[in-house]
Amino acid sequence: MEAAQLGASQVVRQVLEGRNLNQVLEKYLKDAHGLSPQQRGALQDLSYGTLRFYGQLARILEQLLHKPVRNESLRCLMLVALYQLQYSKAAVHAVVDHAVRSARKLDKAAGGLVNALLRSFLRSRDALLAAAAATDEGRYAYQQWWIDEVRVQYGDRAQDILLAGNQHPPMTLRVNRRRIAPADYLALLTQQNILASLIAPEAIRLEDPVPVGRLPGFADGLVSVQDAGAQCAAHLLDVNDGMRVLDACAAPGGKSAHLLELAQVDLMALDKDAVRLRRVDENLQRLGLRAVLQAGDAMRPGEWWDGKPFQRILADVPCSASGVVRRHPDIKWLRRAQDIEGFARQQLQILEALWQLLERGGKLLYATCSIFAQENRQVIDEFLQRHGDAQLQDMENWKAKMGWAVMSGVNNGQLLPNDQHDGFYYALLQKHT
């Protein structure tokens, strides 16, 4: 536990300084020697959990400290230990004892402070939690601007949306129909005593997450891990055999693979990052699928496009990722209010560039994993004002038409996060003939 606490405190500190959680965690685990698989898993859980509830934990720590702690690593260690005491099943005495030892490694004189602080939390837990919940950041664990924005846009639904972003995300599989039928794969899971249910055409939600190594046939390409909301994209794009299709901003390749699993299409998977594009290749190889992989900027098609129009385009554009914060809790603390406007400008530029590549009568699916209207419907509205040859397709009945029995919170293409799927936005545009 001591190694996990110390490691998590370093990861959390670097994230709060402005770095990406996945990148920091990957580097730390790569450089860390001698950690067991159990310690690595615990370190990751503590890092994610502390950042998920950082707003609440920081308010509690402020109440417990008589003056600010200058050693930021020590402060983050306290946050990690508070997370353990409030949310983990670890024995209380073990959490406190190991935190005291960890503190002494950071500052020889800090053991007594950490011991007193954690025991004070245990004595006054209810009062401290209540005081933290009196503030919006302490109650919901987001920055205030984020909370205010969700309230303005969603009114009475705001609380459910914010709280959904703090839950552990479901683990959902996408069955590769080219290899096995969803019902047959569900039977394989049952044979392995893995409880699961089919919630959409190819989407199987696990009762409890498991390592991919435990999934039958994963290495052979029977399934992939992909959120149920993300699986909407390939169905909405309405691909058929023989079509020329572009997946812009394709990495890591989940949506590209799903398109190829649904139809025999001529697919180009485009991404600006050549390193991330290799992940697309790896995923397609595991699934037994093929596509043209192209490194290039979606906003500059002149540098990579061959002049032949596409019949279908998936524009899965960069965004705030505000709909997937339960998978990436660092986003709640790294994003700034002004970032949203910047994303919206970039999204419109990508949309403008890709529209020129779509043949007449073709369809373009605009997609984000955001819940903010500035990146979603407002971008589409501005685009439609500029392009008389674009028509927004009716999506009111798409749920029932495709058999998405569990999709909820859908309003004009906006999926709100819940216990079945993350938050996404989809807008299907067709070019006039």
Q: Rounded to whole angstroms, how far apart are CA atoms 50 and 47?
A: 5
Rg of the chain's alpha carbons, rounded to an integer? 23
Please write down the HEC assignment for all residues of 290-344: CCEEEECCCCCHHHCCCCCCEEEEEEECCCCCCCCCCCCCCHHHHCCHHHHHHHH
Name residue 268's beta-bridge partners.
246, 292
Q: Rounded to whole angstroms, how far apart are CA atoms 118 and 97?
A: 10
- Among left, alpha and beta (phi > 0; psi -120 to 50; other), residue 139 is alpha
Q: Rounded to whole angstroms, how far apart are CA atoms 135 and 127?
A: 14
Name residue 403's beta-bridge partners.
none
Active site residue 369: yes
- In sign, the C-alpha dihedral spanning 11, 12, 17, 22 is positive
Cβ neighbours, 10 Å, residue 123: 10
Length of the chain: 433
Cβ neighbours, 10 Å, residue 195: 11
Q: Rounded to whole angstroms, how far apart are CA atoms 111 and 119?
A: 12
CA distances, 355 to each of 28, 233, 255, 291 (Å): 42, 18, 19, 21
Query: Could you give the 3-state DSSP secondary structure of residue 190?
Result: helix
| In the block, residue with structure tokens 């005495």 | 93
Q: Rounded to whole angstroms, how far apart are CA atoms 346 and 299?
A: 9
> Strands 196-198, 203-206: parallel, antiparallel or unpaired by DSSP?
antiparallel
Query: Could you give the 3-state DSSP secondary structure of residue 244?
Result: strand
Residues identified as active-site: 369
